[in-house]
Chains A and B, each alone.
Chain A
Amino acid sequence: MATLEHSAAAPVTDHAATSTGLPHLKLAMWLFLASDCLLFGALISTYVLYRGASTVGPYPADVFDIPYTSVSSFVLLASSLTMVLALAAIQRGDVGRSRVWLLATALLGMTFLGGQVYEFTSFVREGLTLKTNVFGTSFYVLTGFHGTHVAVGVLMLLTVFTLSFAGKINQDSSMTVELVGLYWHFVDIVWIVIFTVVYLIPTGSPAGG
């Protein structure tokens, strides 16, 4: 949302000096990300509380496909790289290359989403739905929330990508790319935590927890 605000901030602050010396939007974005930490904190702890509390299966161990999920993790990590490369390029003023990296990032993001959709469907086939048990409930809502964040990110990336053809994205407005980047990396680090806490750490006995 902060990126969308960009144009409006300009007139008020044409005398572009800020008291802290920090750009408004970047400060706002970091504050927003800080607050988002608590959003995912709440979701992840809900999952940790419920992962082993189900009264009926399937339980995490029955459905998780670690090799598959680690591939999607790689994809998301790779997208973080392409994202910073896009930023580095635009800061050099190389709009063309930046555009390519932006598109690459968006595509990787979509690949990740596709992977998640496939994962969900296969879990459902194995009998784990939102309603099956508290594991399903907390798992789908947590990863779904993250997926939504990714989708929003993809939307922003494609918007910026399109704007770049309108010449709206250039060295001076590299801030826009940097902001989308910050958001995108945040989504990535959230996944780093989810991958460990949700997928890799084995669940105790179904009774336990």
Chain B
Amino acid sequence: MASVSVPAERPGGLLRRPHATTGFWAWFTTVDHKKIGILYGITAFAFFLIGGTEALLIRVQLARPDQTFLDAAVYNELFTMHGITMVFLVVMPLSAAFFNYLLPLMIGARDVVFPRLNAFSYWAFLFAGLFIYSSWFLGGAPNGGWFGYAPNSVIDPTRGMTFYAIGLLIAGIASTVSAVNLAVTVLNMRAPGMTLFRMPVFVWMGLVVQLLLAFSLPVITIGLVELLFDRLFGTHFFDVSAGGSPVLWQHLFWLFGHPEVYILVLPAMGIVSEILPVFARKPLFGYQFVVFSGIAIGFIGFGVWAHHMFAVGLGPVANTAFAVSTMIIAIPTGVKIFNWLGTLWNGDIRFTTPMLFSIGFIAMFVIGGLSGVMHAVVPSDYQQTDTYFIVAHFHYVLFGGAIFGLFGGMYYWWPKVFGRMLSETAGKLNFWLMLIGFNMTFGPMHILGLQGMPRRIQSYPESLGLAFWNMVSTIGSFVIAISVLVFLVNAVASFRKPKQMEADPWDARTLEWATSSPPPEYNFEEIPVVHSRDDLWHRKYAETEGGRVVPVAAGGSGEGTYPDGAGHAAQDGAGHAGGHAIHMPSPSYFPVIAAAGLPVLGYGLLFGVPAVAVGLVITLAGFFGWALEPSAE
């Protein structure tokens, strides 16, 4: 299905670069980090709706004991796809959307360092997602859990786990490429004066996440390759009868899987660290400590993977070591939370929707963090592992944490991206419904787990007395669904409004608010020169000797005071005077072509060698055209 989009890209005028930067087809050839960010966002949100629907089906099946609404096969496919979708096709790309759109703006750059590579990453990710989902129609979706434990994932007779392996490999390529791209962007593309310790925390978290990706993805890549070879070519990596070890897969998976947790949550932490200061009207408390704790979390995050394997029988030495490292990682996490509290302290807090989501993030993430520490208590974890207690824990981290943060980010930057405000009323409704629904759904799961409900079971007997809280949980999940609908309506409605938005509606502190909303294609007419952290704020406000803060002459009204400040509010960036002077990279056909080859290659591995060759040819053709096409129009 991926190849479907190729004909549109037939390299007709070979090596001549497309010009159009507007219109439908321009989306396929764009290399503009902002457009690519929007593409990431829309795609990820679409998958969010699908993954959420899968979750609802699971909840319906579990609403009452001994239900037969879904049979075992479908149920296993659903919880597997729910996990894969939410982790790889929702939270990761949604974070990528924010990184793509905002990192260049926040550091005062005109684009990422390798714009076409950036486009390639997006298309590869999209095709990976479509590839995995095509499995529903081609003999069954993955059914071995998102963690795909061997040997079960190897001996499963359906094609599902082969789709899983190939799909995640393609997604992995996409993420690795964009990780290198964005890391170099942050290091090398900063505006004059934007030293590392003047960067917004969100940019810092972006940098850390890209490095986590760069160093953790290769490990799962090898794990997936070994799984794939076992399934396709009869190798024995995880074949016990030949002396293979199933535990090797667990190491390779969790060596990636744990850093992945921080890959998912650090972006949200960065977002919250941007939103809190703006609406508390104070700078972030203990900037350096928030940054360093973020780095520490990323670093220690590589040393805790075996706490997912306490019950495997690694022996007391390993369990002790990983219990300790796991407890240690709680410390920098705590530092972050206390600094956020410090930011709120003595602030002048405005309860806008972004702020509500950020406060909700802190409140919920604390719960997830605390239950996390309880898992580090190994003997206690012997009871909790693989029960709904764990499910509750990581949903408090990844939903109460990541998703709340990302929603806050959407409300916060929506006006910047689309030049229109989301309705605050609908936003608040969205927040409260989601908060209540979320706690109704996942709070009871703590109890269920302790009462003896294991994970990944299709039903449970009446006798275990699990019925009540399961029903509560199911009802809660539908409340969440309603809150998401409210967001959808809000989003659609916002496009009914005219595009009338000043550059800096929130009276914010960072560079992206210094240019028009939406920003012109080239972001800044003149690359700003940065003099301090929260540079924009310092251009709007000054401090008297007494430490009183007073607006500077120019404004504080929210008008940025850079050259090319908020001048172009209404119009489209491309269309104005200064614009033509600035030379931006031309769109290109080749990223999408190069990416389109990958799923074709994947189908080839599944359904017959010829397609492998075709896929390789398409991809190589893409890259050669890429290398040879002129750099400008």
Contact = CB atoms under 8 A, between A and B. Distances in A.
Contacts of A50: 237, 243-244
Given A1-B177, A36-B218, A38-B215, A137 B236 contact: yes
Interface stretch (A3-11, A99-107, A109-117, A197-205): A3-11
A34 interface: yes
A30 to B, nearest CB: 10
Interface string B481-517: 0000000000000000000000000000000000000
B226 A46 contact: yes
Contact of A141 (B194, B229, B255, B623): B229
Interface in B556-605: 583-586, 588
Interface string A33-66: 0111111011100100110011110000000000
Contacts of B245: 49, 53
A19 B183 CA distance: 13
Contact of A46 (B180, B239, B248, B630): B248
Given A11-B632, A54-B242, A20 B583 contact: no
A10 B223 CA distance: 37
Interface of A: 1-14, 18-20, 22, 24, 27-28, 31-32, 34-39, 41-43, 46, 49-50, 53-56, 130-131, 133-134, 137-138, 141, 145, 159
3 residue pairs, one from A and one from B, having the closest CB atoms: A42-B222, A7-B631, A39-B218
B214 A35 contact: yes
Interface in B153-185: 176-177, 179-181, 183-184
Most B-side CB within 10 Å, residue of A5, A39, A145: A5
24 contacts: A3-B627, A7-B627, A8-B116, A9-B113, A10-B631, A12-B115, A12-B584, A14-B583, A19-B188, A22-B188, A24-B114, A27-B188, A28-B181, A39-B222, A41-B218, A41-B219, A42-B219, A55-B242, A56-B242, A131-B234, A133-B243, A137-B242, A138-B237, A159-B627
A8 B631 contact: yes
A208 B239 CA distance: 18
Nearest to A133: B242
Nearest to B191: A19
Interface string B96-124: 00000000000000110111110000000
Contacts of A31: 180, 183-184, 214
B627 A24 contact: no
Given A18-B189, A27-B184, A141 B235 contact: yes
B236 A133 contact: yes
B278 to A, nearest CB: 25
A36 B218 CA distance: 7
